[in-house]
Amino acid sequence: TITLDINAAGYGWQLDSTDQLTNRIDLLTVINHEMGHAIGLEDDYSDPDSDDIMNGWLSINTRRMPAAGDLDVIFGEDEDLKNLLAS
């Protein structure tokens, strides 16, 4: 279960990536990040400027999407996928 607050901790939700001047938190980025937690990924605090979807810091007006290779890293081994689906 992913639970989001109504107003992004007071910042407000940004829904459209074309409007970069809203000073809001990007909803799609947050949902993708939280889905990462749902499959067992941890926050990454190693680089605040990283575009990694699991970066623990999120700035306003920032959209992060999973990179093309992210799923390969997560599900690279068939055994990892089987374990995930079994849990």
What digits encode the pLDDT tens for the residues 57-78?
998 988 998 876 766 666 665 6
> In angstroms, rounded to a whole number, what is the distance separating the alpha carbons of residues 64 and 71?
15
pTM of the complete model beyond 0.85? no
**pLDDT means over runs of 10, the chain (87 residues):** 92 82 90 89 91 91 81 64 64
- Nearest Cα to Cα of residue 73 among 39, 30, 49, 48: 39
Helix/strand/coil percent split, the chain, to 5: 30, 5, 60
Alpha-carbon gap, residue 25 to 31, rounded angstroms: 11
